[in-house]
Amino acid sequence: MASDKSPVVVTCTAPVNIAVIKYWGKRDEELILPINSSLSVTLHQDQLKTTTTAVISKDFTEDRIWLNGREEDVGQPRLQACLREIRRLARKRRSAGDGDSLPLSLGYKVHVASVNNFPTAAGLASSAAGYACLAYTLARVYGVEGDLSEVARRGSGSACRSLYGGFVEWQMGERADGKDSVARQVAPELHWPQLRVLVLVVSAERKLTGSTLGMQASVDTSALLKFRAESVVPARMQEMTRCIQARDFQGFARLTMQDSNQFHATCLDTFPPISYLNDTSRRIIRLVHSFNAHHGQAKVAYTFDAGPNAVIFTLEDTVAEFVAAVRHSFPPKENGDTFLKGLPVPPAPLSDELKAALAMEPTPGAVQYILATQVGPGPQVLEEPHVHLLGPDGLPKPAA
């Protein structure tokens, strides 16, 4: 442990998660308590992650934060909620007699820097990875132990699911104080090694309607959302858990697509309606159903969060053929060499029968790129000093 005079520096990473049973709508805006439970798949950090460094020092005069290289307002309510909760937990632990093991003074200010290696606010769950990483890093710099669901959730609801690897349930809970609204792992990341994930990036632009505003509008105006939360999701949570534990891809695929469709139906049922999908998103949906119909079974499944980008689930033995189908339907305009990123995928031929079954006029450039990944672990601590985003002075390191 550092002496009381030297700064404490901690760097961690956290993953993106993609919900297969969606969270949409809150019963408490301040505590970020959901109107229904949800279930997600944690994606591998080799392809998608947030990295966060936190430094506390007696020399700092104020809390400061940098996101993707730019200093941001540290007074943002959700950021402050996370900081307050971490400091509260640290004080609680110190008052319980664990003071000797806690770093520095709890009165010291903190500097934080965070970077994503993927587009922010484009419907790729950047806030979930970001706030999970913030909670995890602050917990380590302030000596907080135990479940961090409540801290991460105060920043972004789905962030609590990014605190675990593999397959994760966020239990909606019933208590008014939210103490039972926590994440838990349904199955670890190595449970289903054949499962693969393809992110089809349609647009990296910031979405027009943010999730927070969209959810509130749906809660206020959508009768379908209320029906979904009360009458549909509970059974789907049980069935999805069964499909994952049994590695039943047919059931998993069907339910994933149905829940995505219903989530976007609630957005259209909102008044005024919200549409996160665009024409390319809808063409991808058609492609998936044509591909599955050709094979006579569900070989691939789509899901869309609050944005136009598709997340495709499939099994290892289908990846190459489906990537070839995407290339055929959405040929890259110029970036043929970088169209496919992430895990290597060997080229595969497309049969004339499959091409005919797809029955789509190619749309060059509509899909910007494909990111191939798989199920991955939860947050990690990085020990090597060279990975820190901030120096001991608490300022961002100059770009290499």
Cis peptide before 347 (omega within 30 of 0): no
> Is 1's pLDDT higher than 50?
no
Q: What is the mean pLDDT of residues 67-77?
A: 94
State in words which class domain 8-188+379-387 has. alpha beta
Task: Kindly report, as residue ranges, where domains of CATH 3.30.230.10 are found in the chain.
Answer: 8-188+379-387
343 confidence band (pLDDT: 50, 70, 90): very high
HEC sequence for 15-47? ECEEEEECCCCEEECCCCEECCCEEEEEECCCC
Task: In whole angstroms, give the CA distance from residue 16 to residue 77.
Answer: 22
CB of 370 closer than 8 Å to CB of 330: no
CB of 180 closer than 8 Å to CB of 171: yes
CATH of segment(s) 195-374: 3.30.70.890
Backbone phi, psi, residue 53, to 5°: -115, 135
Instruction: Render pLDDT for 116-131 as a digit per residue (tens, 0 to 9).
Output: 987 654 456 688 999 9
The number of CA neighbours under 13 Å toward the Cβ of 315 is 13
DSSP helix/strand/coil, 243: helix
Nearest 5 degrees, angle CA 120-CA 125-CA 129? 90
Instruction: Render pLDDT for 156-210 as a digit per residue (tens, 0 to 9).
Output: 999 999 999 999 999 999 999 999 999 999 999 999 999 999 999 998 777 677 8
> Is 98's pLDDT higher than 70?
no
Tokens representing 268? 């259209």
Tokens representing 220? 């206020």
Instruction: Render pLDDT for 17-47 as a digit per residue (tens, 0 to 9).
Output: 999 999 999 999 999 999 999 999 999 999 9
> Is 242's pLDDT higher than 80?
yes
Q: Which residues contact 182 (CB under 8 A, 6 or more apart)?
A: 147, 149, 150, 160, 170, 171, 173
The CA-based dihedral angle spanning residues 121, 152, 166, 213, taken in that order and rounded to the nearest 10 degrees:
-40
Task: Kindly report, as residue ranges, where domains of CATH 3.30.70.890 are found in the chain.
Answer: 195-374
Q: What is the mean pLDDT of residues 245-252?
A: 98
Instruction: Render pLDDT for 281-327 as a digit per residue (tens, 0 to 9).
Output: 999 999 999 999 999 999 999 999 999 999 999 999 999 999 999 99
- Residue pointed to by tokens 């809390």: 63
